[in-house]
Structure 1
Amino acid sequence: MSNKAKTETELQAWDQYLAAAIELGRTGVSGANTSDFLDKVVKQSAEIADRMLAERRKRS
Structure 2
Amino acid sequence: MPAKAKTLLIWIAVIFLIFAIVNDPDRAGNIVTSIWDFIVNTISSFGEFFSTIAS
TM-score of the aligned structures, taking structure 2 as reference length: 0.50
Q: Which structure has greater helix proportion?
A: 2
TM-score of the aligned structures, taking structure 1 as reference length: 0.46
| Greater Rg over alpha carbons, structure | 2
Q: Which has the higher contact order (CA 8 A, sep 6+)?
A: 1
